[in-house]
Amino acid sequence: MDGNVKVRVRLGAAEAEVESDPEHLAEAIGLIPEIIKKLSVDAVETREREPRAERTPQLEFEARGGQQALPTVIIEKSDSLSEVIGKFFGDPWGRDSRKLSDVREALQSYGLNYPKQSVAVALLRLAKTSKIRRFKAPDGEFVYTASNAFISQVQQEAEATVSAAG
């Protein structure tokens, strides 16, 4: 190991990494606001160049089994980790069996970087409250999926929102 420290900054799909020796770490960290500003400007410019039709959110599907690659949810600043994960499992993405690594990947896609242990504890708590189901896959790893009761609750809330708006 060369003793350098890496700092990674992600803003949406854009990502930059700063690497420095510990002696110059403060200087490297000082570059982060500049990098974020540059990433923001680049993201806006790229978005403005794209045709309007291509800007609408589209579901991505993985080649294997046609599973959705990422959940499409709206996350509020005030949402707790459990609430965010609950939203993921309320989305069609959560109806397929998901491993801890899938949930962490989805969180990271929204810029939410939580330790593995924190995500595991949140998943276990959601399973204990029957909002999601937890079971062992044939490979011995735990997998999670939305519970039928939770799916029904999310559908009822969506119908209530639609009828109140219309």
Lowest-pLDDT range of 3-7, 14-18, 87-91, 130-134: 14-18
Handedness of CA 126, 132, 136, 140 (dihedral sign): negative
* CATH 1.10.10.10 for domain 81-165: yes
Q: What is the pLDDT of residues 79-112, one digit of tens each?
A: 999 999 999 998 889 888 999 999 999 999 999 9
Burial of 116 (0-12, 13-18, 19+ CB in 10 A): exposed
Q: Is the dihedral of CA 59, 61, 66, 72 positive or negative?
A: negative
pLDDT digits (tens, 9 = 90+) for 109-162: 999 999 999 999 999 999 999 889 999 989 999 999 988 765 555 555 556 655
The structure's pTM equals 0.53
- DSSP class per residue in 93-157: GGGS-EEHHHHHHHHHHTT----HHHHHHHHHHHHHTTSEEEEE-TTS-EEEEE-HHHHHHHHHH
